[in-house]
Amino acid sequence: MPLMAPESPEYHRHLPANEQRKVDSAVLHLEFAVLFRNPPSAPSTISRGAMSQTKKITFSTFPYSPYAHRVHIALEEATAAYIPCVVNLADKPAWYTAKVNLAGKVPSLAYGGPDSAVPEDPSPESEVIAESLIILEFIADLFPDSPSLPHDPVRRAKARFFIATFESIFIDAFDRVFYGGESADKLASALGHIQKLLPDTGPFAVGEWSIADAAAAPFLARTWMLLEHDIGKYPHGEGKSTLEVLRGPKFARIAKYLEDIRSRASFAATWDENAQLAIWASYPPVLRTQ
């Protein structure tokens, strides 16, 4: 059976009623946090700080998803005005696949359309952008004064290379360990490769903050959290032992990188570890059967 990442529509399936209630409670907690920070009554032309936008942005998300978290970070980083729409992929509404994203995945952005349009019935005047990495680039283009995409072409190329390497090496290990039940040692090995890409100076992947960090942050934060609580299909007990290794001197640079990510305002504004833990601890695809 092929491994399925959280962004895959087949991955999210109906849960038993008691498990669904646990997930719904945690999702609701994060949903209110998002809605009250970015009220949906905001007009479509808004200035926040030094950057502005001229069209409405509707962000379809699911708090569990690290892919959607990437986009949430980027929107906060750009100080964008947006309307959040939480789509519970464990009990996906029919309108989302029919009217918003035919692939049935989050994240997606609906860009444009009248203020009167609601997320459940997007305007034909809006354009829907899907896939997290594509959306990161789109947001960077919408907000050129944000720090998301370096202006220097070398740094920009390095940011994209970091993302490509992270996708092919680390996310593959993440899926195999937490969903596929392979040894957690694979995470340490993958992080060793990623650590080599980090600069000796400067806190982030290419020195300054960029889309590379928005792409990596959700997965790194979840990795440390899941290992700390021994959540995942990898062999029982390997979570804490692997985390001990990651806290050792061999991985000091990647640990400092995560520390710097956690201190970034855009990450802090989009991460509630208690709520995330409640979701992951009750999500069958990452729970051991024995």
The one-digit pLDDT tens for each residue of the chain (290 residues) are: 233 344 543 334 334 455 555 555 555 555 545 443 444 334 333 334 434 567 999 999 998 899 999 999 999 999 999 999 999 887 889 999 999 998 889 999 999 998 888 888 889 999 999 999 999 999 999 999 888 999 999 999 999 999 999 999 999 999 999 999 999 999 999 999 999 999 998 899 999 999 999 999 999 999 999 999 999 999 999 999 999 999 999 999 999 999 999 999 999 999 999 999 999 999 899 999 86
CB contact set of 104 (below 8 Å; sequence gap of 6+):
9, 89, 92, 96, 97
Q: Within this chain, do residues 164 and 256 fall inside the same structural domain, yes or no? A: yes
CB contact set of 20 (below 8 Å; sequence gap of 6+):
14, 90, 91
Q: Within this chain, do residues 34 and 132 fall inside the same structural domain, yes or no? A: yes
Residue 139 CA to residue 53 CA, distance in Å, equals: 10
- Going from the C-alpha of 217 to that of each of 70, 211, 242, 254, the distances in angstroms are 7, 10, 19, 11
How do strand 83-86 and strand 57-61 relate by DSSP bridges?
parallel
Name the domain boundary from 81, 115, 142: 142
Q: Within this chain, do residues 72 and 186 fall inside the same structural domain, yes or no? A: no
Residue 181 CA to residue 175 CA, distance in Å, equals: 9
pLDDT for 261 equals 99
Q: Within this chain, do residues 15 and 138 fall inside the same structural domain, yes or no? A: yes
pLDDT for 11 equals 38
Residue 231 CA to residue 238 CA, distance in Å, equals: 10
Kindly state the DSSP code that residue 170 receives in the 8-state scheme: I
For 276, the domain range is 153-284
Domain count, the chain: 2
